[in-house]
Amino acid sequence: MRRKVKDAYQVLVIGGGHAGVEAAVAAAVIGCSTVLITPSITRISLMSCNPAIGGIAKGTLVREIDGLGGVAAESADHTALQFRMLNMKKGPAVWGPRVQSDVEEYCLTQREKLRTAGVHIIQGMVVKLVGPNSRIEGVLLSNGRVINAEAFVLATGTFLNGMLHRGKDTWPGGRRGDNSAIALEKDLKQRMFHVKRFKTGTSPRVVRNSIDNSLLEKQVSHDVKFRFSWSTKSGIENRETCWLTRTTGETERIVKENLRQSPLYSGRISGKGPRYCPSFEDKVTKFPDRKGHPIHLEPMGKSSRIMYLNGLSTSLPQAIQEKIVRSLPGFKNAVITAYGYSVEYSCFETGEFDGALKLRDSENLYVSGQILGTSGYEEAAATGLLAGASAARKTLGMRRVVPERISSYLGVMVNDLVTKGTEEPYRLFSSRSENRLNLRQDNADRRVYSLGCALGTLSDEKKKAYGKRERKYIFLRKEISGRRLQGKSVEEICRRPEVSPDDIAGIIGFSPQDINEKEILNSVVLDIKYAGYVKRAEKRHRIRKRYGMVSLSVIDDYDAVQTITIEAREALNRRRPETLSDAEAIPAVRQADMDALVLHLMSGSVSRET
């Protein structure tokens, strides 16, 4: 039974972003009295950057969140404006489901999820932790109120000593219109926790009817009856139109001529930014030969008058941003309602937290989201769920649970952050996993079910629904394995690249009754198609663990290993690791690079010398 006395809870969550919401809901579902403290109740789960959920690997992570009992997937479905399946030119194992979301509806839906779970919400700013590091006792709010708890989750996003930058202007804030948690960062430093500075940025927003759509490319929507959550009864409907434009030579000229006015290039920002979501200044500088950078126009809500310019993140002065925006095709008369900016914030150094996301110097303080060094709503939400569950389990005297990288993207991400750390905001990619052909969005619920049961975040209702799906999966697998057609097993036919799930349904006489059954059949077929690859990936994983101490001294120049990424080659040549284990600990070296190194060492004279 939950227990709560005045200003005392079992789990206290600091921060109401995507990480904070999942942390609070997870703790409440496990059975703890839970409170979430946020500077603004109306801005809970606000999408301060692009108004979208999902993407390559990220969309699969959202499905894992749903499979673990989290709420982000349901909220994404409920507030979706447009759906697209990214990366469809490649195999379905690496497709990336992504939706445009109604920002205001998403905030309201997430707030309702908290209330449904029984989470108490307090509007306020935490300025200090109370008690010794070994066991935190409470938090002090800016109004002098002290709230006690038995375990705590820090989910501060970009608010931890957040500083906003645009041109020569710098002001404190976690995002536009919000305060910065300056005092809390100072308290963490005084407690001898080690922090570093990262940065991210946002794009300008423009008035929709000030844009000439006739000069834009209509963004293709995909109607494939997809939804992130198994509890959503039908596929996402496209309710809005998105558009695409491209920068011009004039756009790039304006940026080049004004780089000195950018805080990124004047030396006023020390934090490292995300390599794979760079500012437009970085795009122009680092890719000078590339012309026509894509800019996606994304509505902030259903029939919203505001469009977000995804791909045009900038912190140049307002006057320069006006020129940049109006140099785009269709934007001659564009009206900017909010200008882009960069935000610099603090996060914990590698080694400060463990696999359950607990700070190593404390027995009851957990961390999630961007304070771990991650980037993105999806990474924040997933780590929030784990941190909230870990805090609740600690409070209730239950054993620690750590996700495994071989079976989930959550496990990949946590393992990377704990063992490798990150030198820039961490973004999830399918190539970070050695088992990515198995870490698909279609089988996410089956892959993480045992983890959800171990964490205690799955409700009885979700367990029952999963059991029903699993019985259907087993039935279809048996139907396929037991059938033959013209002397060949249907399972063998499944493995042919040109054979689709619909083809198999016709062969075995199966007519899906709803979206669940159709997706379960799809998952069965993909499991059969990729079975051989998955076995090989698991074997390589075992080999890599076994031969972690194999010497790399036989490789003189990693540029000769063409099967690893350019980023990995640069890092390996610079760091010169002695063993495979040392190489794996380098942030720039992904799991696909490790696989390539192992194969390189096992081939020819290299493996014999080793």
pLDDT at 8 over 90: no
User: pLDDT per residue over 557-596, tens digit each?
Assistant: 999 898 999 999 999 999 899 888 888 888 888 878 888 8
What tokens appear for 369 in the block? 């989201």
pLDDT at 448 over 80: yes
Residue of higher predicted confidence among 589 and 320: 320
Percent of the chain past pLDDT 90, that is, above it, reads 77
pLDDT at 610 over 60: no
pLDDT at 147 over 70: yes
**pLDDT on residue 276:** 64
Question: Which of helix, strand or coil describes residue 232?
Answer: coil
**pLDDT on residue 423:** 87
Q: In sequence order, what E strands does 453-572 have?
A: 484-485, 488-489
Domains annotated for the chain, with CATH where assigned, are 8-198+346-455 (3.50.50.60), 205-344 (2.40.30.260), 481-540 (no CATH), 547-609 (1.10.150)
Question: How far is Cα 144 from Cα 296, in angstroms, rounded to an integer?
Answer: 45
**pLDDT on residue 581:** 83
- Residue 495: which pLDDT band, with cuts at 50, 70 and 90? very high
Q: Which of 519, 529, 414, 419 is nearest to 473 (CA)?
A: 519
Helices (H), 396-443: 409-415
Answer whether 326's CB lies under 8 Å from 207's CB.
no
- pLDDT mean over 494-515: 93
Question: How far is Cα 22 from Cα 76, in angstroms, rounded to an integer?
Answer: 13
Torsion of CA 593, 441, 69, 48, to 10 degrees: 80
What tokens appear for 462 in the block? 């979700």
Question: How far is Cα 610 from Cα 212, in angstroms, rounded to an integer?
Answer: 63
Answer whether 381's CB lies under 8 Å from 196's CB.
no
- pLDDT mean over 178-184: 94
User: pLDDT per residue over 227-261, tens digit each?
Assistant: 999 999 999 999 999 999 999 999 999 999 999 99
User: pLDDT per residue over 344-373, tens digit each?
Assistant: 999 999 889 999 999 999 999 999 999 999
**pLDDT on residue 604:** 55
Q: In sequence order, what E strands does 68-161 have?
A: 80-86, 96-101, 120-123, 126-130, 138-141, 146-154
Return mean pLDDT, the chain.
Answer: 92
Residue of higher predicted confidence among 287 and 4: 287
pLDDT at 419 over 60: yes
Question: How far is Cα 348 from Cα 161, in angstroms, rounded to an integer?
Answer: 12
Q: How many other C-beta atoms lie within 10 A of the C-beta of residue 225?
A: 13
Q: Which of 363, 365, 368 is nearest to 410 (CA)?
A: 368
**pLDDT on residue 365:** 98
Answer whether 437's CB lies under 8 Å from 537's CB.
yes
Q: How many other C-beta atoms lie within 10 A of the C-beta of residue 192?
A: 8
Percent of the chain past pLDDT 70, that is, above it, reads 97
**Residue 146 region, left (φ>0) first, then alpha (ψ -120 to 50), else beta?**
beta
pLDDT at 156 over 80: yes
Question: How far is Cα 315 from Cα 261, in angstroms, rounded to an integer?
Answer: 9
**pLDDT on residue 408:** 97
Answer whether 345's CB lies under 8 Å from 185's CB.
no
